[in-house]
Amino acid sequence: MRTDGMPSRWKKVALLLVAALLWTGVAQVERSMNLDRDRLGLTRTEPLQNAPPLLAFTTVALGGFRGLISNLLWVRMMELQDQDKFFEMKQLADWITKLEPHFVQVWAVQAWNMAYNISVKFKETEFGVYPDRWRWVKAGLELLRDEALKYNPYEPLLYRELAWIFQHKMGHILDDAHMYYKQQWANEMSQIFGMERPNFDALLNPQTEEDRERVRLLTEKYKMDPAFLKRVDEEFGPLEWRLPEAHAIYWAAKGLDVAEKNLRRVNTNDLIRLRRVIFQSMLMSFHRGRLIPDYINRRFEFGPNLDIIPKVNYAYEKAMEEDPANRENIRIAHRNFLRDAVYFLYTAGRQTEANQWFQYLARLYPDKPLFEGQPDSVPRNVTLDQYAVARVTEDVGETDRIRVKAHLEGMLAHAYARLILDLDDEAYAYQRLARLVYDSYMSKIKGSEARIGLPPFEEIAGEVLRRLLDPRESPFSAEERAVLRTKLNLPAETAAAPTAPATNAPAATGTNAPASPALTPP
């Protein structure tokens, strides 16, 4: 019988007891470390909610090794980025987000990769049509909105990245396909908001099956809250919700809202970036935040959103107050904004408001010239009419007869197009501005009329109207031409005369157009 078995058995028992004590100690330390990590916002330790079974199992089974594996994959992903292997990056990023769904930077990089790097690999399938590129831009949006924010609802960086894709990739004009993105997004949003301003009452309290379907799309597919949407529109709008700028403002504002509920995890710089997205998107919305049909080019055109001018102005004033270090740069941008606001209001026929903002500009910046290189063009030396005409002619060329005439014809064509849309104020404003430009040009070339003079203004307007009413030349449909004739008190359209042989005689219009048409102020 062996006598050394008993000590060995006791030794094993002792080792097991020590291991149990150490395990208990490690568990206590890990629990304390998790609390510290959670308190400091270093990582998320709470269980995943609504995660797919594979992801939930992976996060539990691998435990602490998830971080090590994720770090290795991240290093490899950065190597692939340096090699421009963006499609391979996507697969690794997908693995990392499954291992570490709270690894916020990976979500941001993956969405950027899809919306920017991968999308540009695809060319147009026909002129102006980019379905594959749009698919990848949209995939980047959906990754952040539908997946990243589901696991990281309090991360300002993700809200900022989502808002940035709306503002920069879709809203800006740097991508060749930006018009295609805007058109596709407008088509989708029209299913919810229709072709007019949103009916917030119907979205907040839907009574019909159609309204309930709109709310379902808004909340389930696009992850937007109708009540918060109304709040954003009231605070920063009115906004055109079929355009991406409005959605950039929504998601940036949402990021600020959730950050206030979780301030211990917020980086101050993230909040600054979110506010900057809102400010920049408001300015973009002022410049081109209105959707209007362009009957001349047969497409949607983007006009300025003049109703948010007071709120954009307030944003500038607040920025100057809160950021004294950059006050002078902000003042320059503010002055440029006011110059645009005056001009846009003037061309929209809102003369009273244009004059009010012109006086405000003069009061704030009395000694700043309105035009570069013209030190005497301070507000006290320039009238509102002179300023508006100069804004047009500075890009046309003072004595370039061809360019001035083409610009006049364009303004008159847009005036008639506005009549069709029942935008009579804008129609008259375009015609009035065209007349001012004409008079300004003719006064500058006085004495040289025979060489570079223009035909009488009424003749130019008559020729524009003749082309717009002629079925063989007009960009308007028969119904649109009928509306224009009614607006101008012209007789109904008659059958177009057959094409006449070439002669030196004046061409017959065949459209009942008046010789000297003129719009009348509404």
Kindly list the distances between the CA atom of residue 92 and the CA atoms of 51, 73, 95, 108, 388, in Å, as whole numbers in the listed order: 19, 6, 5, 14, 56
Q: What are phi and psi of 33, to 5 degrees?
A: -65, -40
Q: Are 516 and 461 in contact (CB under 8 A)?
A: yes
Vertex 111, ends 105 and 114: CA angle to 5°?
140
Torsion angle, CA of 321/322/326/332, rounded to 10 degrees? -40
The answer to whether the CB of 390 falls within 8 A of the CB of 371 is yes
Tell me the helix, strand and coil percentages in the chain, rounded to 5: 70, 0, 30
Model pLDDT, residue 374 = 84
Those residues of the chain that have pLDDT short of 50 are: 1-3, 40-51, 55, 61-62, 496-517, 520-522
For residue 326, give both structure tokens: 């950059």
SS3 assignment, position 510: coil
How many whole angstroms separate alpha carbon 432 and alpha carbon 194?
33
State if pTM tops 0.85: no
Q: What pLDDT was estimated at residue 345?
A: 85
Q: What is the pLDDT of residue 507?
A: 31
pLDDT in the model for residue 498: 35
Interacting residues of 303 by C-beta distance below 8 A, sequence separation 6+: 288, 290, 291, 292
Number of neighbouring beta carbons within 10 Å of residue 133: 23
| Per-residue pLDDT at 502 | 31
Cβ–Cβ under 8 Å, residues 245 and 171 = yes
Q: Long-range contacts of range 490-493, CB-CB < 8 Å, 24 or more positions apart?
A: 490/514, 493/469
14: its two tokens: 């002792």
pLDDT of residue 415: 86
pLDDT at 468: 86
Residue 302: strand pairing partners: 291
Tokens of 212: 């309930």
SS3 334: helix
389 Cβ partners below 8 Å, 6+ apart?
Answer: 433, 436, 437, 440
Q: What is the DSSP string of 206-223?
A: --SHHHHHHHHIIIIIS-
DSSP annotation of 379 reads: G
Q: How many residues does the chain have?
A: 522
Sign of CA dihedral 272, 278, 282, 288: positive
Strands (E) across 272-423 are located at 290-294, 299-303
For the segment 255-275, what is each residue's pLDDT rounded down to a tens digit? 999 888 776 666 777 788 888
